[in-house]
Amino acid sequence: MTDIRAAVAAERTELAALLSDLPAEDWDRPTLCAGWRVRELVAHITMPYRSSMPRFLLGMVKARGKFDVYADRQARQDAADLSAAELTESLRQNVDHPWKPPGGGYEGALSHDVIHGLDLTVGLGIDRSVPADRLHLILDDLKPRQLKYFGVDLTGIQLRATDLDWSHGTGEVLSGKAQDLLLVLCGRTLPVDHLTGKSADRFTR
C-alpha cells in the first residue's frame, strides 16, 4: 500500500511540475481525450479534490445517472471557471489526496493519473516517459472488466512492449513503448510513429 500511494503522489507531483512550465497557449491545445483541451483534462484530473458528495450526486441526477456525461459537463464547467494556475495548484496541493475511483483502489487512482497524464503529454508531443515501476503496477493489475470498459477490439493482436518485459493477448504483434500500449488498451488514437506492426494504422492517425 505504501508503494502504490507513493507512486500516485510522485505521478501527481511530476504532472504539476510539468503544468507549471506549460506555455499559456498550450492550455487550449487538444489532448488525446476527444473534445478536451488541456484545461478540460486537468479540470477532470483534479475534479475529485473539489467535488463534495452533494455536488456529485446533483451532477449525476442532472446527467441521468451517466457518469461520462456528468464528468464531461463538470470538466467543461471547471475549465471555464478556473484559471490554468488554479487548476495546477489544485493538483499540487492534493498529491497525497486519498481519492480512489469506485472499485478501483489506489491502483485505479494511479491508472487514472498516468493515463490522463499521457493523454496530455502525447497529445502535445511532450517527450515524457512514465517510470517503469508505475507502468508495471498498472499493467500487471489489468482486469477483464477494465478492458471491457474501453471496448477496444484486440482480437488476433498481441501487444508487445519494446521497453518492458510485458505483453498482452495473442496473435499478430503490435509493438511500442509500454506507455503507448497502455493508451491502446484505453482506446486512444496515437501518432503514427508510436506503434509498429501490420495493424498499427488501426490505432494511429
For the cut 70, the answer to whether the pLDDT of residue 158 exceeds it is yes
C-alpha grid cell, residue 31: 489532448
According to DSSP, the β-strands at 172-176 and 157-161 are parallel
| Distance separating alpha carbons of residues 205 and 203, to the nearest angstrom | 7
Number of domains in the chain: 2
Average pLDDT over residues 91-103: 93
- pLDDT averaged over the chain? 94
| Distance separating alpha carbons of residues 199 and 136, to the nearest angstrom | 24
124 and 184 within one domain: no
48 and 19 within one domain: yes
Within-domain flag for 139 = no
Burial class (CB in 10 A: 0-12, 13-18, 19+), 147: middle
47 and 11 within one domain: yes
pTM of the full structure: 0.94
C-alpha grid cell, residue 191: 501518432
The pLDDT value given to residue 166: 96
In which domain, by residue range, is 164 found? Answer: 144-202
123 and 44 within one domain: yes
123 and 23 within one domain: yes
Asked which of 113, 134, 155 is the last residue of a domain, the reply is 134
Residue whose C-alpha cell reads 511500442 in the numeric block: 176
81 and 18 within one domain: yes
From first CA to last CA, the distance across the chain in angstroms is: 38
At CA 111, angle to CA 187 and CA 109, rounded to 5?
135
Which helix (H) or strand (E) segment holds residue 91: the answer is: helix 84-92
The pLDDT value given to residue 9: 97
169 and 194 within one domain: yes
N residues, the chain: 205
The pLDDT value given to residue 1: 55
Return the CATH number at 89.
Answer: 1.20.120
The pLDDT value given to residue 52: 78
Amino acid in the structure at residue 30:
P
148 and 130 within one domain: no
- The SS3 assignment for 158 reads strand
| Distance separating alpha carbons of residues 53 and 59, to the nearest angstrom | 10
| Distance separating alpha carbons of residues 103 and 153, to the nearest angstrom | 24
Average pLDDT over residues 162-187: 96
Asked which of 84, 116, 134 is the last residue of a domain, the reply is 134
Within-domain flag for 6 = yes
Confidence class of residue 51 from pLDDT cuts 50, 70 and 90? confident
For the cut 80, the answer to whether the pLDDT of residue 2 exceeds it is no
98 and 47 within one domain: yes
Confidence class of residue 154 from pLDDT cuts 50, 70 and 90? very high
Contacts of 148 (CB under 8 A, 6+ apart): none
178 and 81 within one domain: no
| Distance separating alpha carbons of residues 140 and 9, to the nearest angstrom | 19
177 and 150 within one domain: yes
The pLDDT value given to residue 163: 97
DSSP tag of 29 = S
Asked which of 134, 167, 186 is the last residue of a domain, the reply is 134
* Least-confidence region, from 21-25, 67-71, 122-126, 131-135: 67-71
The pLDDT value given to residue 22: 98
26 and 120 within one domain: yes
Confidence class of residue 15 from pLDDT cuts 50, 70 and 90? very high
